[in-house]
Amino acid sequence: MTGVDVVKVAVVGLGVAGQVVYLPLLARRRDIFRVSAVCDLDREHAENVGRDIGATAFDDPIVMMDRGGFDALIVLTNGSHGPLVKAALDRGYWVLSEKPLAYSLAELKGVPGDARLMVAYMKQYDPASQRMLDALHEAGGAAAIRHLDVTVLHPSDESQLLFARARVTKPSPDRLAPYAEADERALTAAVGASSERLRRLYARVVLGSICHDLSLMRMFTGPPDTVDHVSVWPVDAFPPSVEVSGTLRGSGSGRYGIRWHHLPSYPAYHETVLVHHEHGSLELEFPSPYLLNAPTTLTCLSRVGTTERRTVYRDVAEAFERQLVAFHRFVTQEERPLTGLEGAMEDIVTAQRIIRRYAEWAGIPISGECVESERTREPVTDPLG
């Protein structure tokens, strides 16, 4: 497709992410994208959205893909995206998939390492994150890091989205059942079936949210070398608080700590990523991801002679939009994305290692891929091929 200016896309999954983020930005970037089709298991909802934007509506993604009329697919459904992504790749489409790409490595069996696949970790495309990567390189790279510290204060999604007035999608239980059953099989393959709370923790918290921080860690330093300790509390709340710590890869004495707290009535979403290195500190402060063009702040602390210097960067360029532009370059110029199949699989392996460590700490029986991932630790492009 080299040389094509406008990419025809289909969007599958018309929930909050589609309505509040992707469809508005695709409309903003009609210079490079045209939405040709939309799909949601709630047929009436899909037709309403399709009517609003002038796109053909479907309630079955396989029927939509077989009908065609577009070049690329954006996957925004709930749960694991593995089966839909694989079906789209098998049909020759370029794919942008929201996280998590999959719940299990087994779902990705047979997907080639050079697949036309981009995984959507928008924080990697945030201009502040990109500037932090440059600043870290200037400070000596990953080897100079003494500690990487992440704190997330996560209020309820409902409170974050009061402003958005998104339509509610309500597919029938019969339409949802095959996808829910596939998700359950994938979770069993990944972490076993001994604990429902463990499965929810893995799917909804680690792969549903903490994976963003794993993707940033992977961009800055590579996947973690060890997962030494995981705590989850309180026992009577879900989602709970989660704490993870261990050593960074290839950085000598560097360590990391992640603290993720679901606080339903907290005033606003806050996330900080703080790196202390031998020459100073770098700190990212992320706002709620649903607030388009709300800038992330990067603060760089350094020394000049006897002076402590603090430099602040704020850029209103939208990370989700930059991600879409990168997807366009991937489709039209084959410019590789920041995260493709291998990076997403590394994050799945890290998530499984986190769950295994917590299960060991809590005395919960566990099985599946997470046991095997702790033995091997080495990411591969096709673990089951």
175 in the same domain as 277: yes
Question: What range does the domain containing 91 cover?
Answer: 7-121
Q: Give a yes or no: residue 325 inside a domain.
A: no
Q: Specify the pLDDT at position 5.
A: 86
The strand pairing partners of 312, in sequence order, are 299
CB within 8 Å of 224: residues ≥ 6 apart = 217, 246, 247, 248, 249, 256, 350
CATH of the domain at 36: 3.40.50.720
Q: Which residue has the tokens 């069996």?
A: 109
User: pLDDT, tens digit, for every residue of 265-320?
Assistant: 999 999 999 999 989 999 999 999 999 999 999 999 999 999 999 999 999 999 99
Asked whether residue 227 falls in the same domain as residue 245, the answer is yes
pLDDT of residue 162: 87
pLDDT (tens digit per residue) in 125-152: 999 999 999 999 999 999 999 999 999 9
For 63, the token pair is 């029927």
Specify if 233 maps to a domain: yes
Which of 121, 149, 168 is a domain's end point? 121
| Position 274 in a domain | yes
Q: Is residue 151 part of a domain?
A: yes
Residue 323: count of CB within 10 angstroms of its CB: 23
284-224-76-283 Cα dihedral, nearest 10 degrees: 0
Question: Would you state the pLDDT for residue 373?
Answer: 59
The pLDDT of residue 252 is 65
- Domain termination site, one of 92, 121, 150: 121
Q: Are residues 149 and 112 in the same domain?
A: no
Q: Is 259 a domain residue?
A: yes
32 with 130, same domain? no
Cα separation of 40 and 12, whole Å? 6
When divided into structural domains, the chain yields a total of 2
Tell me what pLDDT residue 382 has. 38
- Give the pLDDT of residue 376: 55
Residue 171 lies in a domain: yes
Does residue 300 sit in the same domain as residue 195?
yes
Range list of H helices, the chain: 16, 23-28, 43-53, 61-67, 82-90, 127-138, 157-160, 173-191, 196-200, 211-220, 319-333, 341-362, 369-376
CA-nearest of 300, 306, 317, 339 to 136 is: 300
**CATH assignment at residue 137:** 3.30.360.10
Cis peptide before 127 (omega within 30 of 0): no
Tokens describing residue 101: 């790409």
Q: Is residue 56 domain-shared with residue 85, that is, in the same domain?
A: yes
Residues 96 and 173 in one domain: no
CB-CB contact of 100 with 348 (8 Å)? yes
Neighbouring C-beta atoms of residue 1, cutoff 10 Å: 12
Do 139 and 165 share a structural domain?
yes
**Domain identity same for 57 and 45:** yes
Is residue 163 domain-resident? yes
Do 273 and 150 form a contact (C-beta atoms < 8 A)?
A: yes
Please identify which residue in the block is written with the tokens 């079906």. Answer: 87
- The pLDDT of residue 375 is 56
Same structural domain for residues 183 and 284? yes
DSSP label at 101?
A: S
Concatenate the DSSP letters of all residues of 214-242 into one string.
Answer: HHHHHHHT-S-S---EEEEE-TT-SS-EE
- Are 178 and 114 within one domain? no
What tokens does 199 get?
């499965």
Whether 357 is covered by a domain: the verdict is yes
How far apart CA 365 and CA 216 sit, in angstroms, is: 30
Residues of the chain with pLDDT under 50: 1-3, 378-385
Domain final position from 56, 89, 121: 121
Contacts of 301 (CB under 8 A, 6+ apart): 280, 281, 282, 283, 308, 309, 310
Task: Count Cβ atoms below 10 Å from residue 370 Cβ, excluding itself.
Answer: 25
Structure tokens at 109: 């069996």
In this structure, the strands spanning 72-75 and 7-12 are parallel
Greatest C-alpha distance within the chain: 68
Q: Is the dihedral of CA 91, 92, 97, 101 positive or negative?
A: positive
Residues 82 and 139 placed together within one structural domain of the fold = no
